[in-house]
């Protein structure tokens, strides 16, 4: 029997009556109270009598399984908090989490918050250079990592005077640790039953997520503990999480989806989550969901398209009847993928739209609401969204016209600034609206449709990659004079990185040189940011002031109209 008793009874009704007070009331929070995400995700759930409920079912690459109850999680996060505090880390200092998807990553996140640190999760796939940029910008005090990632940290440690503690969670003593390196074994630590949680308040900084823009280095998006108010209720209403659910969020916590909806939202709702260390593999994913009887699955379009590629037969080999709600985020979810999921899983993927900066889902398809495949759905109740004119930034108030997606500020999980970059942050607001930097339109029924990004950021497999970082790495190669990185179409990842390069005098284009350049940047960039193709060109299109016009190169790759270049030139 289909379950029609959704947490959000009716979108239309909710629009009339919703207020963030509902979330606060359910969480037992009143304005001015202390609020600590670490406490809300573990201690509070135990206080509600659910200490013995499973919080995490975790599987390693090898299929080894570990299970943790909410009480285990409460105690282990206490142990981590005590360890960090004893080491000398102070509230407000940045603690980077640089690990694969292992329990220490999840518990380190909550433990760090419990002792008042600002947690800074970073993809373990990052190379030394990407890591350095982010640790240097945040002036990070400590990094928690694994043995296998330690060499990348050692490479840059000397250049990072503020980085005082390198904590290794799986040191086996086979090789001596060096100065500033500490071994920490979660399972062997003293179980701390009582911990005095840092008295954070609504505006106390919590999480620092790095996100890429067109220019400059990646920016640290500064979240606060109050974000919980949005993350709790959107998890409940959009992901429809219920007491007996087994929830699987495929995102890595290096990405905001993996924290807002892979840690904070589900655990503050007292949900059982499963986590797998493995990357994408169709057969293993289906087996994983079958084994754990996953009921709610939150994933991303690239993964869905990859599953589509593997075909329908493989799906039929598995019993996936437990699945009751599917959602997706990160890139445009094409109508074909939505229809395919209906065909093979008997359920449509519900597209959700949001950003690192928004902290929570802001536009979405809701359980029970009619889905228009290809549309992102409607604004979450409590969030006012519109489309503004691309030049005046005033609401268009017209349907079917493309403009920029904009939100009225004021929901709890909006970031409070970019780390050390208030000017760029303030630049995102115009006429009282927060500009998302994405183009879209609204149809006659109030559904939002995504058109594309309004800047040069490349969205590859749902991950934003700034051209600046790639170009900076490329021009460090002795043969490269100038470079421009743009996205080119890809059937699975939506976009992949293509680099255009002009060479310095004395260098000739060749396959060999291309390989050398690729190998050179591979050490500096994460796999996602790696160019999939290099094209040597004589010159790059530029504005009169000398700025590279990536837009022209991008349009070429996508077979689109280049647009009015003269205006662009005059604009500079
Ligand atoms: O361009 C939009 C795209 O991803 C951007 C936000 O990326 P990030 O800050 O890394 O956060 C991603 C996870 C929340 C957006 O500005 N994006 C996100 N969701 C969608 C999307 N594009 C189209 N459809 C979506 N549902």
Pick the residue whose CA is nearest to atom 24 on ligand 1. 332
Domain that holds residue 471: 458-558
Q: What is the CATH number of the domain that holds 554?
A: 3.30.300.30
453 C-alpha to ligand 1 centroid (Å): 9
Name the residue among 281, 368, 262, 269 with its Cα closest to residue 325. 368
Name the residue among 68, 26, 27, 28 with its Cα closest to residue 51. 68
**Is residue 468 included in any domain, yes or no?**
yes
pTM: 0.92
The label of the residue with tokens 């939002």 reads 448
193 contact partners, CB below 8 Å, separation of at least 6: 75, 78
| DSSP class of 190 | -
| DSSP class of 3 | -
Q: Which atom of ligand 1 is nearest to the CA of 356?
A: 9
Please tell me if the CB atom of residue 453 comes closer than 6 angstroms to any atom of ligand 1.
Answer: yes
Q: What is the three-class DSSP state of 503?
A: strand
302 C-alpha to ligand 1 centroid (Å): 12
Q: Which helix (DSSP H) or strand (DSSP E) does residue 85 occupy?
A: helix 70-87
Burial degree of 518 (CB within 10 A; 0-12, 13-18, 19+): middle
Question: Which of 213, 254, 255, 353 to mutate for ligand 1's pocket (most ligand atoms within 8 Å of CB)?
Answer: 353
What's the domain count of the chain? 1
Can you read off the two tokens belonging to residue 15? 């629009």
219 C-alpha to ligand 1 centroid (Å): 16
**Is residue 483 included in any domain, yes or no?**
yes
Can you read off the two tokens belonging to residue 303? 């993964």
Q: Are 103 and 186 in contact (CB under 8 A)?
A: yes
Q: Measured between alpha carbons, how far apart are the two ends of the chain, in Å?
A: 60
Report CA-CA distances (Å) from 163 to 129, 159, 160, 512.
Answer: 15, 9, 6, 39
Pick the residue whose CA is nearest to atom 11 on ligand 1. 355
332 C-alpha to ligand 1 centroid (Å): 8
The label of the residue with tokens 């998890």 reads 235
Per-residue confidence (pLDDT) for residue 231, from 0 to 100: 98
Question: Which of 257, 303, 355, 493 to mutate for ligand 1's pocket (most ligand atoms within 8 Å of CB)?
Answer: 355
**Is residue 55 included in any domain, yes or no?**
no
Name the residue among 380, 103, 114 with its Cα closest to residue 231. 380
Per-residue pLDDT of the chain (572 residues; tens, 9 = 90+): 445 689 999 999 999 999 999 999 999 999 999 999 999 999 999 999 999 999 999 999 998 999 999 999 999 999 999 999 999 999 999 999 999 999 999 999 999 999 999 999 999 999 898 899 999 999 999 999 999 999 999 999 999 999 999 999 999 999 999 999 999 999 999 999 999 999 999 999 999 999 987 777 899 999 999 999 999 999 999 999 999 999 999 999 999 999 999 999 999 999 999 999 988 889 999 999 999 999 999 999 989 989 999 999 999 999 999 999 999 999 989 899 999 999 999 999 999 999 999 999 999 999 999 999 999 999 999 999 999 999 999 999 999 999 999 999 999 999 999 999 999 999 999 999 999 999 999 999 999 999 888 888 999 998 888 888 899 889 889 999 889 999 999 999 999 999 999 999 899 999 999 999 999 998 888 888 899 999 999 999 887 666 788 889 999 999 887 765 544 443 33
375 C-alpha to ligand 1 centroid (Å): 14
- Please give the backbone phi and psi of residue 108, each rounded to the nearest 5 degrees, phi first: -65, -35
Helices (H), 312-355: 313-316, 335-345
**Is residue 496 included in any domain, yes or no?**
yes
**Is residue 10 included in any domain, yes or no?**
no
283 C-alpha to ligand 1 centroid (Å): 27
Can you read off the two tokens belonging to residue 570? 């005059």
**Is residue 409 included in any domain, yes or no?**
no
Pick the residue whose CA is nearest to atom 5 on ligand 1. 355
Report CA-CA distances (Å) from 357 to 40, 229, 255, 320, 491.
Answer: 22, 15, 12, 34, 27
Q: Which residues face 418 on adjacent strands?
A: 221
**Is residue 487 included in any domain, yes or no?**
yes
Per-residue confidence (pLDDT) for residue 280, from 0 to 100: 83
Helix 70-87 and helix 103-114, axial crossing angle in degrees, nearest 10: 60
d(CA 288, CA 294): 8
34 C-alpha to ligand 1 centroid (Å): 31
Burial degree of 88 (CB within 10 A; 0-12, 13-18, 19+): exposed
Can you read off the two tokens belonging to residue 562? 């280049």
Q: Are 136 and 120 in contact (CB under 8 A)?
A: no
Please tell me if the CB atom of residue 356 comes closer than 6 angstroms to any atom of ligand 1.
Answer: yes
Please tell me if the CB atom of residue 238 comes closer than 6 angstroms to any atom of ligand 1.
Answer: no
**Is residue 158 included in any domain, yes or no?**
no
């Amino acid at each position: 029997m289909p379950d029609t008793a959704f947490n959000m009874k009716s979108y239309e009704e909710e629009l009339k009556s919703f207020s963030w007070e509902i979330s606060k009331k359910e969480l037992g929070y009143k304005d001015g109270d202390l609020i600590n995400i670490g406490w809300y995700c573990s201690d509070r759930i135990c206080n509600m009598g659910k200490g013995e409920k499973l919080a995490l079912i975790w599987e390693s690459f090898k299929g080894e399984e570990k299970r943790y109850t909410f009480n285990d999680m409460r105690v282990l996060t206490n142990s981590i908090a005590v360890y960090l505090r004893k080491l000398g880390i102070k509230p407000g200092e940045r603690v980077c989490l640089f690990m694969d998807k292992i329990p220490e990553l999840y518990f380190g996140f909550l433990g760090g918050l419990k002792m008042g640190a600002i947690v800074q999760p970073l993809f373990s796939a990052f190379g030394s250079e990407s890591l350095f940029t982010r640790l240097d910008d945040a002036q990070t005090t400590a990094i928690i990592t694994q043995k296998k990632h330690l060499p990348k940290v050692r490479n840059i440690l000397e250049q990072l005077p503020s980085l005082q503690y390198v904590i290794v969670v799986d040191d086996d003593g086979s090789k001596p640790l060096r100065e500033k390196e500490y071994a920490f074994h979660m399972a062997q630590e003293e179980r701390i039953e009582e911990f005095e949680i840092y008295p954070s308040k609504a505006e106390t900084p919590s999480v620092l997520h790095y996100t890429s823009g067109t220019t400059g280095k990646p920016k640290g998006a500064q979240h606060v503990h109050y974000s919980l108010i949005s993350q709790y209720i959107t998890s409940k209403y959009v992901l429809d999480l219920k007491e007996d659910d087994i929830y699987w969020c495929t995102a890595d916590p290096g990405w905001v989806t993996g924290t807002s909806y892979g840690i904070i939202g589900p655990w503050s709702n007292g949900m059982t989550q499963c986590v797998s260390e493995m990357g994408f593999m169709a057969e293993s994913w289906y087996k994983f969901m079958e084994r754990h009887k996953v009921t709610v699955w939150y994933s991303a379009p690239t993964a869905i398209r990859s599953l589509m590629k593997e075909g329908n037969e493989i799906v039929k080999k598995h019993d996936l009847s437990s699945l009751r709600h599917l959602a997706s985020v990160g890139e445009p979810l094409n109508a074909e993928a939505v229809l395919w999921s209906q065909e093979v899983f008997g359920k449509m993927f519900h597209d959700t739209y949001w950003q690192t900066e928004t902290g929570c889902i802001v536009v979405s398809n809701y359980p029970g609401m009619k889905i228009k495949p290809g549309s992102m759905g409607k604004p979450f109740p409590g969030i006012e969204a519109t489309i503004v004119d691309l030049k005046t930034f005033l609401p268009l108030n017209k349907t079917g016209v493309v403009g920029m997606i904009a939100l009225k500020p004021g929901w709890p999980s909006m970031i409070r600034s970019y780390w050390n970059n208030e000017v760029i942050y303030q630049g995102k607001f115009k006429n009282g609206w927060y500009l998302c930097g994405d183009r879209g339109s609204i149809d006659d029924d109030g559904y939002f449709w995504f058109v594309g990004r309004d800047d040069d950021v490349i969205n590859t497999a749902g991950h934003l990659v700034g051209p600046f970082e790639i170009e900076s790495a490329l021009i460090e190669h002795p043969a490269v004079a100038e470079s421009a990185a743009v996205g080119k179409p890809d059937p699975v990842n939506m976009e992949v990185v293509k680099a255009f390069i002009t060479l310095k005098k004395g260098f000739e284009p060749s396959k060999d040189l291309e390989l050398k350049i690729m190998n050179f940047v591979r050490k500096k960039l994460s796999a996602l940011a790696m160019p999939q193709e290099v094209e040597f060109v004589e010159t790059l299109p530029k504005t009169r002031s000398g700025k590279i016009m990536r837009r022209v190169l991008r349009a070429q790759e996508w077979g689109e109209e280049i647009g009015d270049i003269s205006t662009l030139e005059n604009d500079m």
